[in-house]
Amino acid sequence: MRVDGTNISALIVAKPGQLREGLQALLSTIPQISHLGQVDDGCSALKFVAQHSIRLMVLDLEPSNYDLLTTLAKIKASYPQTQVLVLVDNESDQQITATAGADAVLIKGFQAPKLLAAIEELVFKNNLSRLDVSS
């Protein structure tokens, strides 16, 4: 991860557990992330994004919680500067999530360097086009 003078705020949207803890630990190693929030659900995510200038959101899309797709669409419509990286379980969810407005989608099971590369591409290279980093 390259280091420059940029300070950003990030948000993890995931239920408490190993994935959320791992994301928190990994994102905490990025020096440019000056504020890292964590919420459990879409409603809390919408409130958090409205109150903070979030540049990066990492969203865990669980099959039991497709309501997060509505949250994703609302955030992208109201806060287009927020880059959203969505973590999914399979290729079908990958397609659905990309259609809903995700800026990048990773299928779970990725290695940490792949996640860091996706974040760098989204946030630090200012690539505003949709990016599929799952291959």
Q: Tell me the pLDDT tens digit for each residue of 22-53.
A: 999 999 998 889 899 999 999 999 999 999 99
Write the pLDDT tens digit of every residue in 112-133: 999 999 998 888 775 443 334 4
Domain limits, the chain: 8-132
Superfamily for the 8-132 domain: Response regulator (3.40.50.2300)
Predicted confidence (pLDDT) at residue 83 exceeds the cutoff of 90: yes
User: Do 104 and 132 form a contact (C-beta atoms < 8 A)?
Assistant: yes
Type and span of the H or E element at 51? helix 42-51
Helix, strand, coil percentages (3-state) for the chain, rounded to 5, are 40, 20, 35
Q: How many residues does the chain have?
A: 135
pLDDT at 128: 42
